[in-house]
């Protein structure tokens, strides 16, 4: 450590052992759950034209203003994706997916990059699994997406997720724009009572005053007009249908008028999943409807809903809940008494592996005893012992490594049966 070793970049991490297993479990759960809802997988590039994010996420957002990794290797401006939705929609349009059929359900996973100060649950390279359902404005779809996210958390063993829900309206003049005005009017008399930050945001982005974490601002915000009660008739109707569907699904949620979210593209439904294990950043996933994004990126007007889940935050919750998985156990460890046996053993293991039995052996020239010890430490269910006795008579010793297991020496032709007998019984 004292040497001039090269370390990973600030805010990035290596995952191995239990972390590797947790990460893998999250990926498997995503595949399993999202597939069950009819989503297919999409992988888009990690970098895209800078303009895509500027237009998609919004020029005035923190992400675009100060958190993007942007490069100019040649004449093009490219940036490492800070979120997944923009890239998916870009791909959707580039391949004219909307012309091939109605609703497209896509899910993705992969690294995202944001140049923020690292802290608990926040890194500069982090991972998300996310879904985008493009091509329907059905409120039932919003509800399905929300329920699916909860099913994902359940699949990785996370309990205690809190779902917050709100509607922030649409781009119609009598909807969000009008709500903004009523909000400003309600705030104006008391503006000096809000924190500095909020006063600055009053003109630029009033909605942000709603989710300020400053306690006194929070108190003031509680009495302000609520967005889901001031959106236009269509949005109000949509929101009502979403909550109705969630109730029918038996989904537990809270309507939170202060839920705003930081990306510009959201319309109507917004939601966030939070968990108490996470510390200051308690959002473990979030999403909403974005009916204007496809058009904003140069396509036709196509509605969509989606969410993104932070894999690292999922891993933190898994760890604190003890929902972690153990690494898969090794079934067989091969122990060889000498050079000839060592060679023969590698052939035997190759056969077993083709039959789907996980096995390993020593490659460091360890003593017989040390090989036994390794077999025990590795948690192998069975030790296969091959010494000169066995080699001469064409046999193999199969030893049950569990507490009071025995061992038996059988002809090589019966090795597999002997192993299977122990594994299936156990």
Tell me which residues in 232-261 interact with RNA (CB under 7 A): 260-261
Q: Which is nearer to RNA, 99 or 377 (CB)?
A: 377
Residue from 407, 410, 414, 421 in contact with RNA (CB under 7 A):
407
Instruction: Report the distance separating Cα 292 and Cα 1, nearest Å.
Output: 51
Q: How many residues of this chain interact with RNA, rule: CB under 7 A?
A: 73
Among positions 375, 415, 419, 422, the unique one binding RNA when judged by CB under 7 A: 375
Q: Could you please report the per-residue DSSP string of 21-63?
A: HHHHHHHHHHHHHHHHTT-EE----SEEEHHHHHHHH-TTSHI
Q: How far apart are CA 157 and CA 326, in angstroms?
A: 13
Residue 297 CA: distances (Å) to CA of 51, 76, 163, 238, 294: 10, 18, 30, 24, 5
Between 280 and 355, whose beta carbon lies closer to RNA?
280
x/- track of binding to RNA for residues 70-99 (CB under 7 A): -------------x----------------
DSSP string, 110-176: EEEE-----BTTB-SEEEEEEEEEES---HHHHHHHHHHHHHHHHHTT----EEEEEE---SSIIII
Q: Which range in 41-49, 149-157, 385-393, 412-420 contacts RNA by CB under 7 A?
A: 385-393
Least Å distance, CB 171 to RNA, is 18
Q: Which is nearer to RNA, 232 or 317 (CB)?
A: 317
Which two tokens mark 48?
């895209």
Cβ atoms of 416 and 359 closer than 8 Å: no
Position 219 contacts RNA (CB under 7 A)? no
CA distance 366 to 262: 58
Residue 329 has a CB neighbour count (10 Å cut-off) of: 10
Contact residue for RNA among 108, 126, 265, 271 (CB under 7 A): 126
Nearer to RNA, 191 or 370 (CB): 370
Calpha distance 77→50 (Å, rounded): 6
| Segment holding 317, helix H or strand E | helix 311-321
Q: Which is nearer to RNA, 58 or 135 (CB)?
A: 58
- Near RNA by CB under 7 A: residue from 23, 33, 39, 61: 61
Q: Is 142 in the site for RNA (CB under 7 A)?
A: no
Task: Kindly state whether residue 281 participates in binding RNA, applying the rule CB under 7 A.
Answer: yes
- Is residue 204 within the footprint of RNA (CB under 7 A)? no
Q: From CA 356, how far away is CA 304, in angstroms rounded?
A: 43
Question: Residues 332-371: x/- map of binding to RNA (CB under 7 A)?
Answer: -----x----------------------------xxxxx-
* Options 63, 78, 175, 357; binder of RNA; rule CB under 7 A: 63
- Which is closer to RNA, CB of 99 or CB of 204? 204
Based on the shown chain and the rule CB under 7 A, indicate whether residue 144 belongs to the binding site for RNA.
Answer: no
As measured in angstroms, the least distance from the Cβ of 178 to RNA is 22
DSSP letter assigned to residue 65: I
372 is a site residue for RNA (CB under 7 A):
yes
With respect to RNA, which residue has the nearer C-beta, 179 or 307? 307
Among 388, 411, 413, 417, binds RNA (CB under 7 A): 388
Q: 3-class DSSP state for residue 408? A: strand
Tell me the angle at which helices 85-94 and 50-57 cross, rounded to the nearest 10 degrees: 110
């Amino acid at each position: 450590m004292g040497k001039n070793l090269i370390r990973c970049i600030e805010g990035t991490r290596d995952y191995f052992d239990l972390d590797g297993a947790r990460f893998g479990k999250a990926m498997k759960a995503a595949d399993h759950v999202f597939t069950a809802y009819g989503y297919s997988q999409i992988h888009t590039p990690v970098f895209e034209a800078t303009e895509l994010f500027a237009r998609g996420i919004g020029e005035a957002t923190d992400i675009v203003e100060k958190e993007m990794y942007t490069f100019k290797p040649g004449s093009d401006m490219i940036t490492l994706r800070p979120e997944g939705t923009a890239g998916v929609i870009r791909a959707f349009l580039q391949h004219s997916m909307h012309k091939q059929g109605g609703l497209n359900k896509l899910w993705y996973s992969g690294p995202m990059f944001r140049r923020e100060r690292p802290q608990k649950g926040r890194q500069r390279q982090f991972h998300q699994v996310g879904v985008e359902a493009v091509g329907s404005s059905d409120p039932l779809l919003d509800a399905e997406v929300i329920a699916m996210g909860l099913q994902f958390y359940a699949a990785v063993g996370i309990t205690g997720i809190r779902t917050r829900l709100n509607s922030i309206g649409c781009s119609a003049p009598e909807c969000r724009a009008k709500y903004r005005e009523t909000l400003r009017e309600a705030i104006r008399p008391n503006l000096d009572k809000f924190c500095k930050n909020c006063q600055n945001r009053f003109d630029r982005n009033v909605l942000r005053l709603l989710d300020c974490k400053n306690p006194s601002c929070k108190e003031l915000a509680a009495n302000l007009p609520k967005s889901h009660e001031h959106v236009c008739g269509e949005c109000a109707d949509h929101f009502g249908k979403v909550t109705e569907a969630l109730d029918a699904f038996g989904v537990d949620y809270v309507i939170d008028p202060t839920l705003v979210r930081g990306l510009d593209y959201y319309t109507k439904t917004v939601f966030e999943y939070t968990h108490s294990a996470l510390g200051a950043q308690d959002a473990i996933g979030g999403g909403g409807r974005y009916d204007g994004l496809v058009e904003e990126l140069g396509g036709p007007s196509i509605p969509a809903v989606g969410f993104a889940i932070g894999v690292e935050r999922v891993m933190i919750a898994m760890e604190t809940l003890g929902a972690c998985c153990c690494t898969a156990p090794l079934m067989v460890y091969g122990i060889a008494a000498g050079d000839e046996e060592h060679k023969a053993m590698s052939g035997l293991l190759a056969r077993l592996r083709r039959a789907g039995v996980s096995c390993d052996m020593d490659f460091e020239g360890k003593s017989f005893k040390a090989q036994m010890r390794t077999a025990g430490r590795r948690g192998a269910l069975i030790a296969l012992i091959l010494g000169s006795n066995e080699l001469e008579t064409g046999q193999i010793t199969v030893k049950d490594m569990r507490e009071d297991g025995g061992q038996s020496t059988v002809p090589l032709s019966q090795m597999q049966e002997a192993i299977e007998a122990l594994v299936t019984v156990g």
